[in-house]
């Protein structure tokens, strides 16, 4: 479904990604883990069309996304939830959700999509007229996920969905991710919460200094000695 082939990227003269290759198969959860500054968010932006790679290619459903504007990539079914959620805080919950349904196909399914989002997150229905700014951190993350679902995605890219959330809310968010996947949605997850994210993943990659240094099935990667020592503090 999604293939990143030997992608390099940079900001000016600063090279961030060095020949990164990975893939996300249909109806799978794939996690990319790594420390701060490893290049995870940059890779997300490359995939979403917000940054153009200096070399390599990104394929989605067999088509090269290299020269396609970011909003057209969303129309094709690839949607990113950025780190920090990037909500429109002066707008109410419902307005934020409706922004997710900005392209033609999504607009046709607005009512159906809203019902789906409210079923997953009933609190958003209760607070649909409330300003996004007044929501808790967990509720804001729910709204960010809901907005992405309004776009009728085939795959969602989630950048640090557990960031700044209480443990009980983190469990709920990861449970939602699993449920969405079970209903047929592909998920590409970038996380520093390595233990929890790899537990729910079908496959995982470790990114260090802009390079993939390790990959494998989620459980096996979690139990890998290098992963334990480098990221879980286990000797």
Decide which of 42 and 195 is more confident. Answer: 42
**Sequence-separated contacts (24+) of 223-232 with Cβ below 8 Å:** 227/194, 231/33, 231/35, 231/194, 231/206, 232/194, 232/195
Interior angle at CA 97, CA 153 and CA 177, nearest 5: 50
Q: What is residue 43's three-state secondary structure?
A: helix
Q: What residue spans define the domains of the chain?
A: 1-77+154-235, 87-152
**Which has more pLDDT, 234 or 59?**
59
8 Å CB contact between 25 and 201: no
Q: Are 204 and 29 in contact (CB under 8 A)?
A: no
CB 192 within 8 A of CB 36: yes
Q: pLDDT-derived band of residue 5, with 50, 70 and 90 as boundaries?
A: very high
Q: What CATH code would you report for 1-77+154-235?
A: 3.40.50.300
Q: Please tell me the pTM assigned to this model.
A: 0.90
Looking at residue 59, the DSSP 8-state letter turns out to be E
pLDDT at residue 232 greater than cutoff 70: no
Q: What is the pLDDT of residue 233?
A: 56
Tokens for 176?
């939602």
Which pLDDT belongs to residue 193?
Answer: 82
Please list, in sequence order, all residues whose beta carbon lies within 8 angstroms of the beta carbon of residue 172, skipping any fewer than 6 positions away: 138
Per-residue pLDDT band for 228 (boundaries 50, 70, 90) equals confident
71: Cα separation from own chain's centroid: 16
């Amino acid at each position: 479904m999604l293939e990143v082939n030997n992608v390099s990227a940079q900001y000016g003269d600063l090279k961030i990604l060095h020949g990164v290759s990975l893939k996300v198969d249909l109806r799978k959860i794939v996690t990319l883990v790594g420390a701060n500054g490893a290049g995870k968010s940059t890779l997300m932006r490359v995939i979403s069309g917000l940054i153009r790679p200096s070399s390599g290619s990104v394929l989605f459903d067999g088509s090269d996304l290299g020269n396609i504007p970011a909003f057209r990539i969303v129309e094709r079914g690839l949607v990113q939830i950025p780190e920090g959620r990037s909500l429109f805080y002066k707008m109410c919950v419902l307005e934020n959700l409706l922004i997710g349904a900005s392209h033609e196909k999504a607009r046709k399914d607005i009512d159906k999509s809203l019902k789906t989002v409210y079923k997953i997150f009933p609190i958003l229905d209760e607070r649909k007229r409330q300003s996004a700014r007044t929501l808790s951190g967990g509720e804001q993350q729910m709204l960010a996920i809901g907005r992405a679902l309004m776009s009728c995605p085939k795959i969602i890219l989630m950048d640090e969905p557990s960031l700044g959330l209480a443990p009980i809310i983190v469990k709920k968010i990861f449970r939602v991710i699993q449920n969405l996947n079970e209903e047929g949605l592909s998920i590409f997850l970038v996380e520093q919460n390595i233990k929890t994210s790899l537990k729910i993943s079908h496959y995982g990659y470790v990114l260090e200094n802009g390079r993939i240094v390790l990959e494998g099935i989620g459980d096996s990667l979690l139990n890998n000695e290098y992963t334990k020592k480098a990221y879980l503090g286990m000797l």
